[in-house]
Amino acid sequence: MGGPRTAAELYARAVSAGNAGRHAAARRDLIAATSRDPDPDTAALVAGTLAYLDSERGSPDAGIAAIDAALAGESIREQTRAVLTSQRGLLELRRGRAEAAIRDLSHAIERLDAEPLSLGRAYLNRGLVRLDRAEIEAAEHDFARAAEAFGRAGEPVEEAKAHGNQGYAAMLRGDLALAIRTMDAAGSVLGGLSPVMRAIGDTDRAEALLAAGMSTEATRLLRGTVQIYGARRLRQTQAEAEVALARALLLDAPAEAAAVARRAARRFRTRGNASWATRADALVVTGRLLAGDRGAAVHRLGAATAEQLDAIHRGDDAALLRLELALAALARGRYAEASAIRDAVRPDATASLAVQVRAEDLDAELARARGDLAAVIASAAHGIATLTTWQSSLGSLELRGGAAVHGRHLAVLGVRAALDRGSPDEVLAWSERVRALSGNLVPLRPPADDRVAAALTELRELRIRDAPTPESGAREARLRDAVRRIHWADVAHADGPGHAVTLDELGAALVADDASFVAHLWTGDRFAALVLAPGGSPRGRIVELGGAEQVVGLLAGLLADLDVSAATLPAPLRESADASLAARLAALDRILLAPLADELRHAERMVLTPAGALAGIPWTMLPTLAGRPLVAAESARRWLDERLARSVIQRVGFASGPGVERARQEITDAAEAWDPPARQARHDATAGEVTRIAESVELLHIAAHGRHSAEHPLFSGFELADGPWFGYDIDQLASVPRVVIMSACELGRSASRWGMEALGMARAWLHAGARSVLAAPAAVGDERAAELLPAVHRELARGAGVADALSAATRTTGLTTPLLVRGAGW
């Protein structure tokens, strides 16, 4: 009743279903069309489309034979022949025969101008062939022509496919923000059509995330897409997703990566797709090498595979594989072999970022093998400069942090070489370089986004419901994902890291501020520090600290001791807890600070740039630093810039959340330090009230329960009357306070990611433009915070800097807490 009655109508419905990824429904309609007495053209088109669908589940050879049979018909129109030729080009693409695919698709394009829908598909598929051959500019041209043709045809779904592939091409040429933005726009049209279409979008997005170093996110998405394709027996796309999954697994699970790539290679060979099988083979070899296979057999296989990659125009893949072979040869002590391979791989500026950075990895390792530390430093510095130049195009704090993984090996090599050379100038330069790599750029205010604001508001509403349901949990996950994707697609809102810091510039500022400077560095197997202080060596001193294993062990139990110490306990238990914590802090102090005592005694204040491995230490509680004004700076460069941007606090704002014992008293007492016209306060505040206060003051103080997100620190937040106020809310502010005080107990923290809630929120404030953030990397007891923080405000109201105020308040109250100032301290 009312359904398709003719073969042509069934064919049209089948094409729509196939384009939406509903292949089973499409196949049913095509088979039905064959029994409805189709005319010769419709019969040929049905045969061609059936050939494509069947080839996706089996071998393309039979599909090509079926299309050739349809083309042999004498009574079909030339337009029909062009469509069939285009379909044959697609099948040639699916079996990895690029030259034949381009020939067929180009032939079709010349004859399909009168049929924009078919023309768009031909352009789209030719663009895919060119992507496979790494001809990015030509592919982008084809995708643009495809989008234009689909627009003329009034086909928004097909147009979205073309735009999605434009996003993929943008990713391959390094424009990650544009890639994610374009892919997401396409996904909003395609994702709801079918699980297959959603999987296609997830696969592309996963590859973009992998390019940004977010391998965990990429792996999660790709495991899902492999299952979706496999359940529908779409073997080509399943194997392509397995190739992407293998690439995502290389860093953390290389043996599994090799196994996944091996399965993909078998699927491709079953389909006769030698081109894709070779690409999978390359990942098999890389996975085996990274898993420690140093046998001659894997090296022979790798060399042969690299030659095959060259033959199919996969030059970057071939270069990457040869670089891995060279690094593996060097690890076996075969310097000459590794050097010869490097001589044969000469990437230019058009090479992918991965190739350029990996080549510098190899150059640095070769230099280290021959004892040339200056060359190690030069290669590592050049590689990191290449990476940070690309990284600076990203507006997302999360993506910048993820992208740093690409430079991890170079950073270790550079820091180690600088330490071995013993030059304080070089050690300072490397300390700063590593911090710039982690995304330490000068912030500018990004525009607020109404979509983010709406999603965060809905998340708050979901969080305060009495009885969460599976449906609300799923909705919450989708909203979090939407917020993150919007930020991933953001372009850079920051300048570069600024000009390099010199010891002379830093030393002059330290003398003026009566401060010492300590930069801790970690290479994975050793800790060291650069210390510079008035009264010490004007060039600074490098101190080997050792104790790496002991420090890691001490850090492993630190959070538990801090949490117990912050809790309300009977006297005997408190004494035991305090003694355990004191012993742990004293041990850390002996390793990390006691060897620097000669310099540290020359100045009252201290500027600290800790290594990432030490980020969760409550530095103000270590015996050497007890009671001293201390700031943990993002970098020496950022501290120097911010110390010149001091501002007078004229307006202060306070907000407390529900359910925190003594929070109301804490902010009431703290507010008393300020003149009434300058202050505003809200008890049991809502998110909207916190936003309005934050936008209108120079100093913001929040006292509320903290909600920790171990997986995504920027979804950590403060519990307010109408739900949590997230780290992502910070970027929605029209203006940012210069000083932020966060007084939050940190319930539900994950031990595996400890230190990330307060630090994640603090980093978000600093990234958004705050000058100083007072927060704790561990729980602070309500009673201690309620007594200490009002004392801090009394000092601030007298004009003290934040670190000076905390130091004075600590001395006057006699209270020691893990509260720490980050950013600029005075």
Distance CA 108, CA 145 (A): 14
Give the pLDDT confidence score for residue 498 in this predicted structure: 63
Structure tokens belonging to residue 289: 């090498």
DSSP state of 595: G
Other Cβ atoms less than 10 A from the Cβ of 501: the count is: 22
Q: What would the mean pLDDT of 619-627 be, rounded to a whole number? A: 93
Q: Among candidates 275, 203, 212, which has minimal Cα distance to 246?
A: 203
Top pLDDT among 170 and 398 is at 170
List the single range of 151-160, 266-275, 509-518, 753-762 with lowest mean pLDDT. 753-762
Residues contacting 402, CB < 8 A, separation 6+? 209, 212, 213, 214
SS3 label, residue 3: coil
Across the chain, which distance is largest between two alpha carbons, in Å? 99
Structure tokens belonging to residue 161: 């496919």
Q: Are 734 and 685 in contact (CB under 8 A)?
A: no
Give the pLDDT confidence score for residue 749 in this predicted structure: 35
Report how far apart, in Å, the C-alpha atoms of 310 and of each of 29, 258, 321, 352 are.
42, 21, 11, 15
Q: What would the mean pLDDT of 301-322 be, rounded to a whole number? A: 96
Residues forming beta bridges with residue 741, ordered by sequence position: 701, 774
Task: Dump pLDDT digits (tens) for 389-410.
Answer: 888 777 777 777 777 888 999 9
Q: Are 527 and 549 in contact (CB under 8 A)?
A: no
Q: Are 370 and 335 in contact (CB under 8 A)?
A: yes
How many residues are recorded in the chain?
Answer: 826
Structure tokens belonging to residue 569: 């306990």
Give the pLDDT confidence score for residue 752 in this predicted structure: 33
pTM of the predicted structure, to 2 decimals: 0.85
Q: What would the mean pLDDT of 319-339 be, rounded to a whole number? A: 97
Distance CA 250, CA 215 (A): 9
Return the C-alpha torsion angle 21, 175, 251, 133, nearest 10. Answer: 60
Task: Dump pLDDT digits (tens) for 668-691.
Answer: 999 999 998 888 889 999 999 999
Q: What would the mean pLDDT of 442-457 be, rounded to a whole number? A: 75
- For residue 671, how many C-alpha atoms fall within 13 Å in the half-sphere facing its CB? 23
Give the pLDDT confidence score for residue 494 in this predicted structure: 53
Residues contacting 169, CB < 8 A, separation 6+? 127, 131, 136, 139, 140, 143
13-21: long-range pairs with CB below 8 Å, 24+: 14/46, 14/49, 15/49, 18/49, 18/52, 18/53, 19/157, 19/158, 19/161, 20/157, 20/193, 20/194, 20/197, 21/193, 21/194, 21/195, 21/196, 21/197, 21/200
Give the pLDDT confidence score for residue 758 in this predicted structure: 41
Residue 747 reports pLDDT greater than 50: no
Would you give the distance in Å from CA 139 to the centre of its chain?
A: 27
